[in-house]
Structure 1
Amino acid sequence: MAKTQLNVRVDEGTAKAARERATARGMSVNRYIEELVRQDAGEVGHTFVEAAADFMKQYENVFVEEFGTEQEGRR
C-alpha cells in the first residue's frame, strides 16, 4: 500500500501520550496513529466479518452434515 504524508498539530500533552503509548507497544508513533485510525474506521472488524462469512460459505455443507440445519435442531 502506498504511503502518503499527513501532518497534524496536537497539544504537547497529546503528543507526549502518543509517544509513550507507542513506545509501550513497541511501535513508532506513526504506526500507532495508523492503527488507531484503522480501528476507528472499523477496518479490522470489517475484515474479520468478511473472512468469517467467507469461511461459513465455504464450509456450509460440512456444518449441515455434522449438525443439521437450524430448523432440525429446534424440534
Structure 2
Amino acid sequence: MAKTQLNVRVDEDTARAARERALARGLSVNRYIEELVRQDAGEAGRTFVDAAADFMKQYESVFAEEFAETRGTGTGSGEARS
C-alpha cells in the first residue's frame, strides 16, 4: 500500500509519550500512530455493530412478526399489515 505523509503538531509531552510508547513496543513512531488510528477506527466499527446487534435483539419479535407476515404465514395475505 502506498504511504502518504501526514504532518501533525502536538505538544512536547504528547510527542515524548508517543516516542516512549513506540519504543516500548518496538515500533517506529509512524507505525505506532498507524496502529492507534486503526484501533480507533476498528472500535468505532465494533461500537456500531454492537449497537446494531442490541437494536436487533430489542426488536427481534417485531422483525420476526413482520417477516412472517410478508412470507404469507401471518395474515395470510402475503403483505405486511399497516
TM-score range, shorter chain: 0.5 to 0.7
Task: List runs of 5+ in structure 1 lacking aligned partners.
Answer: 47-75
Q: What per-residue deviation string (whole Å, max 9, x for no partner) do you get for residues 19-51 of structure 1?
A: 0000000010000000000000018x77xxxxx
Aligned equivalents of 1:2, 1:30: Cα separation in 2: 14
Q: What per-residue deviation string (whole Å, max 9, x for no partner) do you get for residues 2-34 of structure 1?
A: 100000000000000000000000010000000
User: Highest CA radius of gyration, 1 or 2?
Assistant: 2
Aligned equivalents of 1:42, 1:25: Cα separation in 2: 20
Identical aligned pairs, as a percentage? 89
Task: List runs of 5+ in structure 2 lacking aligned partners.
Answer: 47-82
Partner of 1:15: 15
Runs of 4+ in 1 over 2 A off after TM superposition: none
Amino acid at match of 1:27: L
Amino acid at match of 2:29: V
Aligned equivalents of 1:39, 1:27: Cα separation in 2: 15
Partner of 2:80: none
Look up the SS of the partner of 2:8 in the other structure.
coil
Residue 3 in structure 1 maps to residue 3 in structure 2: yes
Higher helix share: 1
TM-score, normalization by structure 2: 0.51
TM-score, normalization by structure 1: 0.56
Amino acid at match of 1:17: A
